[in-house]
């Protein structure tokens, strides 16, 4: 007789931190004998990994948790769990405790490793709520079921010490802790050993990596630049990404580390948040618009062809039309490749939520629409300039909309679609000539040509002429780092 294995579904909201936590949660569940279910309806245990960065993220999670009532009625043995950032907030936990009796497990961001024990209690009939206010030491060696084989997130720091005045993250993710460099590198080596070719180093502020770690033999604590150099040495890894960068802490040494580490992709996600110095100060961001723009200049000079993306918020308390225009001005000057735009959402317990002059919804919406129009028109112009260029692309797989079309990402993190006669697997690297551009996506044609890493490209024209470009650097070969070749017309 076939015994059905118990199955579990982890539903993730929020940022990459949660995506990575969900892999650990599924890893633990798998080690307990659960197999991954593709649908909530088929699972014996469903865990929601929640986000509370804005009110609408909370509402979405509550909506999903609410729907579980019906499933639980049909299957009283179903275990419904809630964890993640919302679980860290006592007010939100209380809502679940009092109004959602069908949720029988609540745990937080600091005690994921306790899941086996907590589940045992749930299976014994207890309703379990265990959330730690403070993190313990960094826990290493937890199992993970990775979402992809060819690419992976790797935590480098946990938590955040910045306390930007609008932001809930430091309250729900705790103080900043860096993982030891050898632990990060060991994880990257393991991933490479199992076929992973792209890693994304994760932290709320990757640029403050290393604070508090024991000093290196040189006497100083390791920093983000040191880490990039180390990860760059891992055999088998072909691309290194990192997020999120903090404009205040992005040092010239770090820019240099990106520029000189050939596997590190030339994409910088540098949240601007606002362009008005007055608002930036109220946000506690630690830079001015001028300093931010100067940083972009330094990055673009050191890493030609770099793409720069950002997060921008409108409607921070006290933001005037003039302040908003300052944001629009910085956007015009910065010429972002893409921007995530947000409407400020007051978060209980944060400093900004108590500030006077909260902005009306109507004004916030009007500003965000104007901002989106500007961001889109610039992004579309920036992409237009890529038409005809040659880009190195990592295959992601068939496009979601049309399985006969392939999707991939350039080193600059732009999505590109193309059709190919060849069979490609996720993680393969191919060379494409950009044939059409849209605001958020590129379209290309596959070309013969070998990729190396940055600046070590062989375009079809050069290859036809028998010219070997491998190993030359971007600046010495006349190749821009996005693969644009000076001899595009050959």
Q: What is the size of the binding site for ligand SF4 (CB under 6 A)? A: 10
Segment 238 to 297, residues that bind ligand SAH, using CB under 6 A: 244, 246, 271, 273
Contact 260, 268 (CB under 8 A): no
The string over 392-428, giving b where at least 16 C-beta atoms fall within 10 Å of a residue's C-beta and e elsewhere, is bbbbbeebeeeeeebbbbbbbbbbbbbeeeeebebbb
User: Which of the listed partners (ligand SAH, ligand SF4, ligand F3S, none) does 311 bind, with a CB threshold of 5 to 8 Å by partner kind?
Assistant: ligand SAH
Six-digit token string for 318: 């006290």
Taking contact as CB under 6 A, which single stretch among the options 343-351, 380-388, 406-414, 446-454 is the one that binds ligand SAH? 343-351
- In whole angstroms, the minimum distance from the beta carbon of 366 to ligand F3S comes to 25
- Phi first, then psi: give them for residue 485, nearest 5 degrees: -105, 140
The interface partner of residue 247, options being ligand SF4, ligand F3S, ligand SAH, none and the CB cut-off 5 to 8 Å by kind, is none
CB atoms within 10 A of CB 236: 13
Hey, is 355 helix, strand or coil?
coil
Binding segment for ligand SAH among 72-80, 344-352, 391-399, 469-477 (CB under 6 A)? 344-352
Out of 53, 106, 274, 382, the residue judged to bind ligand F3S by CB under 6 A? 53
61 binds, among ligand F3S, ligand SAH, ligand SF4, none (CB under 5 to 8 A by kind): none
Which string of x and - marks every residue 238-257 that binds ligand SF4 (by CB under 6 A)?
A: --------x-----------
**CA 183 to CA 460: how far, in whole Å?**
41
State both tokens at 57: 């993220």
Total interface residues for ligand F3S by CB under 6 A: 12
Whether 323 contacts 279, CB under 8 Å? yes
DSSP lists the bridge partners of residue 48 as: 11, 82
At closest approach, how far in Å is the CB of 463 from ligand F3S?
44
Residue 14 interacting with ligand F3S (CB under 6 A): yes
CA distance 102 to 97: 9
Residue 227's binding partner, choosing from ligand SF4, ligand F3S, ligand SAH, none, with beta-carbon cut-off 5 to 8 A by kind? none
Q: Should residue 47 be labelled a site residue for ligand F3S when binding is judged by CB under 6 A?
A: no
**Which residue in the set 8, 17, 312, 331 belongs to the binding site for ligand F3S (CB under 6 A)?**
17
Residue at token pair 């180390």: 230
| Residues 392-421, interacting with ligand SAH (CB under 6 A) | none
Q: Which of 34, 342, 418, 479 binds ligand SAH (CB under 6 A)?
A: 342
* 313, β-bridge pairs: 342
Smallest distance from ligand SAH to CB 174, Å: 14
Find how far residue 316's CA is from the centre of its chain.
23
Asked if 204 interacts with ligand SF4 (CB under 6 A), we say yes
Whose CB is nearest to ligand F3S?
A: 14
Contact flag: residue 183 with ligand SAH (CB under 6 A): no
Could you tell me if 15 and 204 are in contact, meaning their C-beta atoms sit under 8 angstroms apart?
A: no
Q: Which of 26, 118, 169, 330 binds ligand SAH (CB under 6 A)?
A: 169
Say how many CA atoms lie within 13 Å of 118 toward its Cβ: 24
Which letter, b or e, does each residue of 186-221 get, where b requires 16 or more Cβ atoms within 10 Å of its Cβ? ebbeebbeeebbbbbbbbbbbbbbbeebeeeeeeeb
163 binds, among ligand SAH, ligand SF4, ligand F3S, none (CB under 5 to 8 A by kind): ligand SF4
- Radius of gyration (C-alpha) of the chain in whole angstroms: 24
**Smallest separation (angstroms) from ligand SF4 to the CB of 223:** 17
Residues in region 60-119 near ligand F3S by CB under 6 A:
85
When asked if residue 160 is in the footprint of ligand SF4 (CB under 6 A), the reply is yes
Nearer to ligand F3S, 15 or 405 (CB): 15
Q: To 10 degrees, the CA torsion angle through 283, 380, 374, 401? A: -80
Q: Kindly state whether residue 232 participates in binding ligand SAH, applying the rule CB under 6 A.
A: no
CB contact at 8 A, 23 and 145: yes
169 binding ligand F3S? (CB under 6 A):
yes
> Could you tell which of ligand SF4, ligand F3S, ligand SAH, none binds residue 54, using a CB distance below 5 to 8 A set by kind?
ligand SAH
Phi-psi region of 66 (alpha: psi -120 to 50; beta: other; left: phi over 0): alpha
Backbone phi, psi, residue 334, to 5°: -75, -30
Contact 103, 69 (CB under 8 A): no
Residue whose C-alpha is closest to residue 135's, from 154, 156, 160, 155? 160
CB-based burial label for 90 (10 Å; 0-12, 13-18, 19+): exposed
Mark residues 166-185: x for contact with ligand SF4 by CB under 6 A, - for none: -x-xx---------------
Distinct helix (H) and strand (E) counts, the chain: 14, 19
Interface with ligand SF4 includes 157 (CB under 6 A)? no
> How near is the Cβ of 411 to ligand SAH at its closest, in Å?
22
Chain positions contacting ligand F3S, by CB under 6 A: 14-15, 17-18, 51-53, 85, 168-169, 172-173
Chain positions contacting ligand SAH, by CB under 6 A: 53-54, 166-167, 169, 204-205, 244, 246, 271, 273, 311, 313, 342, 344-345, 347
Chain positions contacting ligand SF4, by CB under 6 A: 160, 162-164, 167, 169-170, 204-205, 246
């Amino acid at each position: 007789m076939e015994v059905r294995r118990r199955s579990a579904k982890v539903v993730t909201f929020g940022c990459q931190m949660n995506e990575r936590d969900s892999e650990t949660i599924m890893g633990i569940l798998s080690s307990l004998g659960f197999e991954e279910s593709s649908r909530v309806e088929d699972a014996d245990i469903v865990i929601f990994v929640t986000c509370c960065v804005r009110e609408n993220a909370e509402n979405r999670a509550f909506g999903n948790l609410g729907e579980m009532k019906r499933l639980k009625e049909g299957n009283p043995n179903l275990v419904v769990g809630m964890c993640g950032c919302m679980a860290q907030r006592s007010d939100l936990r209380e809502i679940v405790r009092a109004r959602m009796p069908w949720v029988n497990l609540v745990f937080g961001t600091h005690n994921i490793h306790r899941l086996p024990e907590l589940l045992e209690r749930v299976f014994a009939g207890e309703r379990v709520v265990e959330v730690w206010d403070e993190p313990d030491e960094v826990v290493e060696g937890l199992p993970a079921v990775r979402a992809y084989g060819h690419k992976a997130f790797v935590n480098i720091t946990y938590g955040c010490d910045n306390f930007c005045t609008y932001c809930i993250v430091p309250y729900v993710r705790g103080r900043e802790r860096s993982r030891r460099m050898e632990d990060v590198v060991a994880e990257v080596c393991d991933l490479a050993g199992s076929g992973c070719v792209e890693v994304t180093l994760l932290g709320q502020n990757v640029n403050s990596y290393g604070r508090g770690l024991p000093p290196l033999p040189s006497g100083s604590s390791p920093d983000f630049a040191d880490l990039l150099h180390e990860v760059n040495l891992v055999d088998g890894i072909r691309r290194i990404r990192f997020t999120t960068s903090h404009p205040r802490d992005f040092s010239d040494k770090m820019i240099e580390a990106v520029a000189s580490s050939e596997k590190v992709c030339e994409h910088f996600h540098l949240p601007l948040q606002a362009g008005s110095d007055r608002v930036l100060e109220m946000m506690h961001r630690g830079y001015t618009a001028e300093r931010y723009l100067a940083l972009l200049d330094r990055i673009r000079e050191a890493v030609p062809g770099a793409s720069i993306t950002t997060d921008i918020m409108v409607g921070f308390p006290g933001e005037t039309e003039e302040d908003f225009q300052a944001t629009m001005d910085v956007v015009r000057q910065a010429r972002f490749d893409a921007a995530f735009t947000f409407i400020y959402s007051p978060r209980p317990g944060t400093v900004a939520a108590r500030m006077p002059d909260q902005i009306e919804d109507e004004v916030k919406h009007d500003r965000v629409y104007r901002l989106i129009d500007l961001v889109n028109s610039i992004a579309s112009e920036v992409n237009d300039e890529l038409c005809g260029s040659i880009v190195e692309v990592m295959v992601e797989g068939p496009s979601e909309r049309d399985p006969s079309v392939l999707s991939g990402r350039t080193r600059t993190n732009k999505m590109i679609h193309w059709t190919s006669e060849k069979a490609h697997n996720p993680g393969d690297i191919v060379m494409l000539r950009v044939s059409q551009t849209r605001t958020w996506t590129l379209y290309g044609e596959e070309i013969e040509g070998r990729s190396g890493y940055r600046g070590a490209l062989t375009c079809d024209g050069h290859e036809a002429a028998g010219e070997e470009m491998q190993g030359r650097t971007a600046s010495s070969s006349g190749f821009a780092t996005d693969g644009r070749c000076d001899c595009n017309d050959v």
